[in-house]
Amino acid sequence: MIHLKKDETKAMVAVHGWSGILLGLLLYAVVLTGTAAVFAHEIGAWSAGHVASRSAFQTPIDARIRRLAAITPPEYREAASLFEIGDHGLGVFFHRDQLDAKGMPTERGIYYQLDNAGRLRRTVQGFSEDIFGPRNDDALSSFLVDTHVRLHVPNPWGLLLTGILGLAMLVAAISGLLIHRHLFKDIFTLRRRANPVLVDRDRHSVAGTWSLPFAFILAFTGSFFSFFGSIGVPVVAMAAFGGDVEALSEAVFGNPGTPDPRPIAIGNLDRVTADAIRRTGEAPTFIAIENFGRADASITTFHNPRASDIEPVSLLYDGATARFERAKPTVGTRPSAGGTLAGIMGPLHFGNFAGMLSKAIWFGLGFAMCYVTFTGMRLWVVRRKAEARSLAWLERTVTVVGYGLPFGLVASAAAFLVAMPIGSAVYWTTAAFLIASGAAILAGALVRSNETLTRLLKGATGAVALMLPLLRLTVAGGPGWGEAVAAGQPVIAALDIAFVAAGIWMLHGCRTALRTPDRSAPIVARAVDA
Amino acid sequence: MNRNRFTPAIMRDQMEAVRPRSRRRWARILLAGPGAVIVALTLLAGMPLWLPGGAAGIDNLAFPLVLAPLIWAALFFHACLDRSIARVALVAAALFLVHGGLIASRFIGQAPVTEKAG
């Protein structure tokens, strides 16, 4: 335990409170959508009714890639990226590296989208930042991820904003640890029969203390991801490579070798995927082909971490012969401390290193962080409301965002399920979120009491959450539980149950609140001071 | 009008005591806020120039990139918690000058910084 002097503790309490209250509302939005995004892949399968359970890389891809290479203009055949899309379909991006209008390195090429039967569904040509947008069948999961990563603010500003939020969370987590005078006592103190606000304070303290290490890891890795491309790489490239970002990228991620531009057909990709699956025990998540169709071509397969490991795996193959060369770290050409440190940042942030178990733990701890952020803001406002009545607007804002955001998210999910069959899910998923948010703001302005507003938003969220499984089955034409389980997608049934449980929980909370008398401000303030 | 003529002596003493405290507080805020950001960015740019490259020749690039948020947090909390504001300023200035100097010498010398993997 760390013992600070009285004035240092006072400074830390101020830092903890202000770091939360200044950016807490945005931080809450980022943490809540990030918590949901832990299951982005599963939400994508649930919402679009994906029942294919075999990876695209477990099916023959070699002939498909050769066919696509044949119709691709030679200037875009410098490199190819292969990855899964939709219902285990295949995305193939033939491209070349070049500079954009601002002189920043980017990729330009042709993006082919194939379904899981290998049929070409769509072709898009352009710069990578323009062509990789949400599709009709993944609009909901894309919306969640985009909100979490950059709050829909254009880059680099969105990344900078979420990076600053990550730093605010880091400050709140460290100062939260420093201000605990009785850390071990606080972990177990829950006065259930005390004043409601004291109960809230105890819950905030307990949830915050237990999830402190997790908050620290999430804030650290999250701000790393936000600042990595937007600030870190340009600054390091400026100092170490005279501003040449591509040279930095090549030094860190490249596969150095002697250039050999002789034209030679690419090796058998089915042989590569079969060998990679045999060596790692699972299908690749991504395949990168450099110098496609040349003698010096190389193929790298990327995989999730092995069981009981946290570092992702990647395998390097000779592109011309499809012969396995070596296992390589995801960062750097050979194992190193820096490469390992950079490599584990992803699994630590996404919680995908031990399958569903680690994802469930990350989801639970993320939910605890949402609770800590929200209750922290409420406690801050309640403590000061008695001193400054003008803070009533802030209390109202906290309620609108705290309960309005989940309402907006379930409304966007409902709109996705209705709009996906008619092909307009990309538009309506976002539009429904904005409409629901507007309705929550309007309710915040019109409803008299904060308690009534809370009940209204909780009730609306619970009702929409209960409707989601019905909408999925009836309007979106999704698979039933039997079909989903038989196809190896029990997650569809699990998410249905989760939405029903969440809906009942919200409605129950709403009903309980109706029976509880309103809390009076003086009692609340006294309780917080106690 | 000279306000001091009409201010009781005890109040003048209190105001004199408050003024340096307020100045220290603002110095602390500046060092914890923009100061910590500027020094962290300078360290991010300067560390690749002296850190060893390691087995893969990339440690000098990877460590500053990964640890940048923690470096900022360390500078921020140092500025908040160190009782001596002069020490905070001294540490920040030393880090800034050393790394700023390294960056400047790099631009003058234009020497390569990546090491061959050993």
pLDDT at position A529, please?
47
Summary count for chain A: helices (H), strands (E): 21, 8
Highest mean pLDDT among A132-141, A383-392, B31-40: B31-40
Q: Confirm whether B104 is domain-assigned.
A: yes
pLDDT at position A410, please?
97
Sequence length of chain B is 118
Q: Which residues contact A60 (CB under 8 A, 6 or more apart)?
A: A270
Q: How far apart are CA A81 and CA A93, in angstroms?
A: 5
Please give the interface size between A and B, counted as residue pairs whose CB atoms are below 8 Å apart. 117
Q: How far apart are CA A120 and CA A323, in angstroms?
A: 29
- Work out the average pLDDT over A216-231: 93
**Residues in chain B whose Cβ is within 8 Å of chain A:** 41, 44-46, 48-49, 54-66, 68-70, 72-73, 76-77, 80-81, 83, 103, 106, 110, 113-114, 117
Q: How far apart are CA B61 and CA B49, in angstroms?
A: 9
Distance from CA of B6 to the nearest CA of A (A): 33
pLDDT > 70: percent of chain A: 95
pLDDT at position A129, please?
84
Q: What dihedral angle (degrees, nearest 10) is formed by the CA atoms of B27, B33, B39, B44?
A: 170
pLDDT in tens, A53-83: 789 999 999 999 999 999 999 999 999 999 9
Residue A166 and residue B69 in contact, taking contact as beta carbons nearer than 8 Å: yes
Backbone angles phi, psi at A459, to 5 degrees: -60, -45
* A27, A32, A42, A192, A406 from A371: Cα distances, Å: 12, 9, 23, 17, 12
Residue B7: count other Cβ atoms within 10 Å of its Cβ: 12
**Model confidence band, residue A413 (pLDDT cutoffs 50, 70, 90):** very high
Closest CA to B61 of A238, A121, A434: A238
Is the dihedral angle over the CA atoms A510, A512, A514, A516 positive or is it negative? Answer: negative
Mutate to test the interface with B, among A8, A13, A252, A253 (most CBs of B within 10 A): A252
Q: Of A49-58, A181-190, A289-298, A324-333, which range is least confident?
A: A181-190
Q: Do the strands A79-85 and A89-99 form a parallel or antiparallel pair, or are they unpaired? A: antiparallel
Tell me the pLDDT of chain B averaged across its residues: 83
Q: Of A136-150, A196-210, B34-48, which range is least confident?
A: A196-210
DSSP A192: T
Q: Confirm whether B3 is domain-assigned.
A: no
pLDDT at position A211, please?
85
pLDDT in tens, A343-360: 999 999 999 888 889 999
pLDDT in tens, B2-59: 444 555 665 555 555 555 678 888 899 999 999 999 999 999 999 999 999 988 889 9
Checking if the pLDDT of A490 tops 80, the result is yes
pLDDT in tens, A288-303: 999 999 999 999 999 9
Partner-chain contact B61 A171, CB within 8 Å? no
Q: Confirm whether B86 is domain-assigned.
A: yes
* Domain region containing B51: 29-109
Checking if the pLDDT of A530 tops 70, the result is no
Q: Confirm whether B55 is domain-assigned.
A: yes
Distance from CA of A336 to the nearest CA of B (A): 5
Q: What dihedral angle (degrees, nearest 10) is formed by the CA atoms of A424, A427, A429, A432?
A: -110
Mutate to test the interface with A, among B50, B65, B70 (most CBs of A within 10 A): B65
Distance from CA of A235 to the nearest CA of B (A): 6
- Domains identified in chain B, total number: 1
pTM, rounded to two decimals: 0.85
Distance from CA of A221 to the nearest CA of B (A): 8
Q: Which residues contact B94 (CB under 8 A, 6 or more apart)?
A: none
Partner-chain contact B49 A339, CB within 8 Å? no
Checking if the pLDDT of B83 tops 90, the result is no
Q: What order of strands is seen across the sheet that includes strand A298-303?
A: A120-127, A105-114, A89-99, A79-85, A286-290, A298-303, A313-318, A324-328
- Work out the average pLDDT over A84-100: 91
pLDDT at position A102, please?
72
DSSP B74: H
pLDDT in tens, B95-111: 999 999 999 998 886 65
Mutate to test the interface with B, among A16, A228, A249, A336 (most CBs of B within 10 A): A336
Q: Which helix (H) or strand (E) holds A50?
A: none
Q: Confirm whether B44 is domain-assigned.
A: yes
**Model confidence band, residue A523 (pLDDT cutoffs 50, 70, 90):** very low
pLDDT at position A206, please?
86
Which residue of chain A is at minimal alpha-carbon distance from B42? A235
Chain A residues with beta carbon closer than 8 angstroms to that of B24? none
Tell me the pLDDT of chain A averaged across its residues: 88
Closest CA to B51 of B36, B37, B66: B66
- Work out the average pLDDT over A16-38: 89
Checking if the pLDDT of A237 tops 80, the result is yes
Which residue of chain A is at minimal alpha-carbon distance from B101? A239
Which residue of chain B is at minimal alpha-carbon distance from A5? B81
pLDDT at position A54, please?
86
Radius of gyration of chain B (CA): 21
Query: Domain segments of chain A: what residues?
Result: 1-50+137-244+352-387, 54-133+255-331, 390-516
**Model confidence band, residue A248 (pLDDT cutoffs 50, 70, 90):** confident
